[in-house]
Every structure is written in C-alpha cells, then in structure tokens.
Chain A
Amino acid sequence: MSTTSSVLGRHDWSARLLKRQYFIYYMFILVLAGFALFLNDTGFLSPSNFMNIIRQTAPITIMAVGLSFALAVGHIDLSIGSVVALSAIVGAILLQYVGMPLAVAGALLTGVLVGLINGLLIERLRVSSLLITLGTMGVITGITRQVSNLESIPVIDPMFRALFGNGEFLGIPGLLWWTIIFALIGYLVMNKLVFGRHLLAVGGSPDAARAMGIRIENVRIKALVVCSLCAAIAGLLYAGRLAGARYTLGEADLLTVIAAVAIGGASLFGGRVSIIGAVIGSWLMGMINNGLILSGFSTDEQMITRGLILITAVAIGAREARNG
C-alpha cells in the first residue's frame, strides 16, 4: 500500500505542473508578456514580426531538432555550428559548377560525412562526444575558412534561393514549411517509430539496451548523422535566405541551439528529449533576440542573455535530476 500512495503522491497535479517539461511554456508566455508590455509601440506584437521571428529562427529550429537526436542517445554535438558554414560553402561553391540538385546533395553529403566521422571516432576511440566534436569543430572551421578563402560566395540560382530562402508555397513562407516538416518528422520519429524508441533506450540505459540486443554503437552513430545532417540543412537555409555563404555562418548558433534544447526540457545527459520543447525553445530564443534588438540592446547583450538562459535551463534540469 505504501508504494501505491507514493506513486500517487508523485503524480499530484501541483507537482506535475512544476515539472521541467512545462517550464518552456511558462517561460515562453512570460517572455512574450514581458516584451509585449515594454515594446507595445514597436510592432513586436504584430503578426508579421512573429512570422519574421519564425523565419529567421528556422535554421536554429532545425538544428535543435537534430541536436535532440544526439542528446537522446546521450551525446552532445559541438560541431553543428561549423557544419552549418561548411555545408553552406560547399553548396554555394558547387552551385557554380553543377545544378541545384547535385549542389544540395553535395552539401547534405558533407553533413552526413561529418556525422559519420564524429560517430565512428566516438565509438572506436571510446572518447566522450564532447571532446571529439570539439575537435571536429576546430577541424571543420579551419577547412571552411581555407576552402572559402575567407570570402563570401554568392548564391545566384533563383530556384535555390526560392527553395531554401524567401520562397512561398500555398501562401506559407518556405522557411515555415521547413520548420513544420522537420518538427513533424522529428516528433514522429522520436515518439512513434522504433528508431526513436531505440535512441531513447540507448540514452536512458545503455546497459539495458545492449542486454536486449540493441546494437547501441550503431544507434549512436545514426543519431550523430541525423544531427549533422540537420545542421547541413540549416546551412542551406542560411545560404538561401542570405543569397550567399560565408565561413562565419552558424558561428554563434551552437550556444543558441544548446540553450533552446535545454530550456525545451531535454536532458543533456541523454534519454530524455522533447522535440516540441526544442522547437518552442528555439522560438523563445528567437523571440528574445528579436525583443532585445527592438529594445535597442547590442549583440553582446544578446549573447549574455543566451548564456544566462542556458545556465538557467541546466540549473533547473540538475535540480530535477537530484530530486528525482
């Protein structure tokens, strides 16, 4: 009987409402209300501004979905920011020689390759993903700078710019479509498919997953490939929207993406992620950026805010982990 009552006790509604997975919604509403109050004469609340936020945040959202896959198996991928630049540069350079489909394929292949290398290095060397991806981040950034000669590479192809940039389909901006598609796929894979189930099992209890016959090394490598592939797509979206690629793309995105995913309720230690949380988390980060710009704050202050949000999210997560 004592067990039953403790089970019920933990599911008491007040305890439920305070759970970390709901934190993102409170935070979102709070920030929204705050900015709405202080910025009511700047057009912050206008629908076009919100559409702008979602469009500008699309690459971050997609990276956040991708990073959720890595976090699900208990890995972190610090190389995503550098993959954004590499994929954009590769795509932009290829566009000068070949058609769009091949250029896109080349950029995506770059992402897959980086994910594969990350995964194989982590599994073969049995080193933490944090250190391996820190290393590959350096290598990739160096390669990107060298390949691009520190110059911007313009993207002229109108099809590419429409598809990945400012095009529209059925009256909905392309970047919103990308967001919707990736959020939906991410959610379905994580919650409805065998693959997602195995990702979470590997992250939640590698020993149990292995004992049940799951090939955990393969699952982890696949997760890193998905993560890197999402970063490569984010690179294409930047190249499309900005009509060009530059080695600085994605430079500041790593912190934003990690903060978005953490505040969205994912455990940075694996086994628990929320795709919806990650998407809303990325929008929260975008909204904060937008609000801070409209309030006249500088990029420095935006960066400070992102850092503080990450610390807050991690602190809440750690407290919940301790309290069970």
Chain B
Amino acid sequence: MVRNALSQTILEVKGITKRFGGVEALRGVSFKVNKGEVVGLLGDNGAGKSTLVRCISGIHPPDEGDILIADKPVRFNSPMDARNAGVETVFQDLAIVPEFDVVQNLYLNREIRSSNPLLRWIGWLDTKAMTKRSQKSLNRLNSRIPSLSEKIINLSGGQRQAVAIARAVSWGAEVVIMDEPTAALGVEQSAQVNELIKLISSQGVAVVLISHNMQHVMDTCDRAVVLYQGRCSADVAIADVDKNDLVSLITGASGLQLAESA
C-alpha cells in the first residue's frame, strides 16, 4: 500500500495506566500510529476508549506510561499542551460555538490579529486574513460548506463535523483523534465524513477513529486497535479481518489469538 511508504511512527503510546480511585481504567495500553494512517480504536462500553483518548488529548494525564510524538516523549497537562504538540481531538460535541460562523469557529482562541502594532496590542481582529486562510483550509478538504459567513446553527451535522475536522487540520495537527464522528449522522453525511477522513490521511495526517460502526471501520481504517477491560487485546490490519472478527474481538471472544497472529 502507498500509505506504508510513510510508515514513520507519529504517535506512540507505551504502557499507559490510569486509575480512578480503586478502579484501573487502563492497564498498560500500548500501540503505535504511523503518519497518514487511520487507526480504529475499538472496544465495548467501559473498555477504556474514552479514558485513553482523554489521556492522549491531555485531559487526564496518565498515571503511568509514556506518550511519544515523532519518537519524542511528551507530557500533556492540558488539552492546549496536546494541541501545541500536534494532537487535536474532535469530540462528539465538536467544541464549536453554534452562534458563531465558520471562520469565527475555525479561529476561536487563535485569532489572527491586525498587523498594525497598536491595533495588534488591543487585539484587533484581522477578519480578512482569517477568512482567506479559512477558505484555503476548507478548499484543501473539498468542503461542501455553503458559505464561510454561515452560522454553525444553520449547517447540517456533517457540515459541522467538517468544520471541526477542518479546524483540527488547519492548525497543523499531525494526529487527529475523532470520537464517534458519525454517530449522530445519516447515511449520506456519514459517507462524506468518511471521505474526509480518507482525504486528510492521504495528506499525511494520522487519524485515530473511535467508532461503534463496524462498516465505517472496515471502510476507512487501515488498522484496528481493540481495547478489552482496560488492555489492548488486539492490533490487527483491517485487510486481515472481517466485521465478525472485529465484533468477536470487541466482545472478548477471540482476543488473544488474533493479537498474536498480527
């Protein structure tokens, strides 16, 4: 596959453990994500997916274990740390302001200020520059968003997802983590989001995709990492498995042998 030509590890998680009180939510999870790879993060409810994502995105620092970005160990104490290191997370609520338009959301808290020193000092917004650059980053995603000055509340679910993904990518993210991006979408819009995922991965961005929809995982992912009771129970190439294999891995029916074969 063409993607393997890029096989350079961008994100590595090593032996991550996270405890909440007496409960061990994660017990030494390890996996790697290569540049431009789409990795499905699968697991039943309570398997530890959300906790793992929260560790990688800087919301909960892990108790033990390391996170490496491009082979360099990093420590995230806040989501901003993770973002600055190139890890963007698109959460289910998308973290977009419904009353704001597309450009305002793309540049929220990263506003471009006027080039005039005085105006810059008082925080004068350079709306023109932001609009121009937004147009560029949306073009790069073949976006179907009707207008940049459209408020988010007037956009469809798929378009909102596209705005959130565009924001992540436009900030130069090297790893984008997506939490159930298609959960609330219809068939056509899900397909659009899946296309978008393939597109950004073809541009070299690694994607970690959490999904319960096995068809989407089969359609978009290169590899699947399966969590079972806080451990990484399988790490398989999608080409080697079918939907039923994935389901039995998730439910723990056939975890270990496939993990070994992979």
Within residues 51 to 105 of chain B, which ones have a CB less than 8 A from any CB in chain A? Answer: 78-80, 83, 91, 93-100, 104
Interface string of A187-206 (1 = CB under 8 A from B): 00000111101101100110
Q: Which chain A residue shows the least CB distance to B154?
A: A7
CB–CB B93/A208 < 8 A: yes
Q: Which residue of B lies closest to A8 (CB)?
A: B146
Tell yes or no: A75 within 8 A of B by CB. no
B146 near A7 with CB under 8 A, answer yes
Instruction: Indicate whether B125 reaches chain A with its CB closer than 8 angstroms.
Output: yes
**Which single residue of chain A is at the shortest CB-CB distance from B105?**
A208
Q: How far is the CA of A283 from the CA of B99 in the complex (A)?
A: 27
Task: Tell me whether B122 is interfacial, beta carbon within 8 Å.
Answer: yes
The verdict on B156 contacting chain A, using a C-beta distance below 8 Å, is: yes
Asked whether any CB of chain A lies closer than 8 Å to the CB of B244, the reply is no
Interface residue tally of chain B, by bracket?
Answer: 20 to 34
Q: Are B159 and A193 in contact (CB under 8 A)?
A: no
Q: In the complex, A205→B152 CA distance in Å?
A: 12
A4 lies within 8 A of B96 (CB): no
Q: How far is the CB of A217 from chain B (nearest CB, A)?
A: 14
Q: Smallest distance from the beta carbon of B144 to chain A beta carbons, Å?
A: 9
Complexed CA–CA distance, A36 and B212 (Å): 66
Taking CB atoms, residues of chain A closer than 8 Å to B154 are 7, 10-11
Chain B: CB-nearest residue to A214: B109
Task: Indicate whether A208 sits within 8 Å of B159 (C-beta atoms), given known contacts A10-B154, A194-B123.
Answer: no
List chain A residues, Cβ under 8 A from B109.
Answer: 198, 201, 209, 212-214
Contacts of B83 in A (CB 8 A): 213
Task: Please indicate the chain A residues that have their CB under 8 angstroms from the CB of B78 in the complex.
Answer: 213
Q: Which residues of A have CB within 8 Å of B91?
A: 211
> Does B113 sit at the interface, judged by CB under 8 A?
yes
Q: Which residues of A contact B99 (CB under 8 A)?
A: 200, 204-205, 271-272
With both chains docked as a complex, state the minimum distance between the C-beta of B149 and any C-beta of chain A, in angstroms: 11
Indicate whether A207 sits within 8 Å of B146 (C-beta atoms), given known contacts A3-B156, A194-B113, A200-B100. no
Q: Are A208 and B97 in contact (CB under 8 A)?
A: yes
Closest Cβ neighbor of B81 among chain A residues: A213
Within 8 A of B (CB), among A256-276: 271-272
Whether A207 contacts B125 by the Cβ 8 Å rule is no
Complex CA–CA separation, A214 to B79 (angstroms): 11
Q: Are B97 and A201 in contact (CB under 8 A)?
A: yes
Taken residue by residue from 111 to 123, chain B's Cβ proximity to chain A (1 for < 8 Å, 0 otherwise) reads as 1010000000011
Label chain A's interface by main secondary structure.
helix
> How would residues 234 to 269 of chain A score, 1 for a CB under 8 Å from any chain B CB and 0 otherwise?
000000000000000000000000000000000000
Whole-angstrom CA separation of A211 from B97 in the bound complex: 11
* A197 and B123 alpha carbons, distance in the complex (Å): 10
Cross-chain contact B97 with A194 (CB below 8 angstroms):
no
**What is the bound-complex CA distance between A193 and B120, given in angstroms?**
9
Chain B residue nearest in CB terms to A208: B95
- How many angstroms between the C-alpha atoms of A195 and B94 in the bound complex? 22
Chain A residues within 8 Å of B159, by CB: 3
With a cutoff of 8 Å between Cβ atoms, the chain B residues found around residue A207 in the complex are 93, 95
Q: Does B150 contact A (CB under 8 A)?
A: yes
Residue of B nearest to A4 (CB): B146
Shortest CB distance A19–B (Å): 12
Cβ–Cβ contact B111 & A197, under 8 A: yes
Q: How far apart are the CA atoms of A201 and B96 in the complex, in Å?
A: 9
User: A214 CA to B146 CA in the complex, in Å?
Assistant: 28
Q: Which one of B93, B97, B108, B124 contacts A192 once the chains associate, using CB atoms below 8 Å?
A: B124
Contact between A205 and B125, CB atoms less than 8 A apart: no
Q: Determine if B153 is an interface residue (Cβ-Cβ < 8 Å).
A: yes
A-B contact pairs, 25 of them (CB 8 A): A7-B155, A11-B154, A192-B124, A192-B125, A193-B125, A194-B111, A194-B113, A194-B123, A194-B124, A194-B125, A201-B97, A201-B100, A201-B108, A204-B97, A204-B98, A204-B99, A204-B100, A205-B97, A205-B98, A207-B95, A208-B96, A211-B79, A213-B79, A214-B108, A271-B99
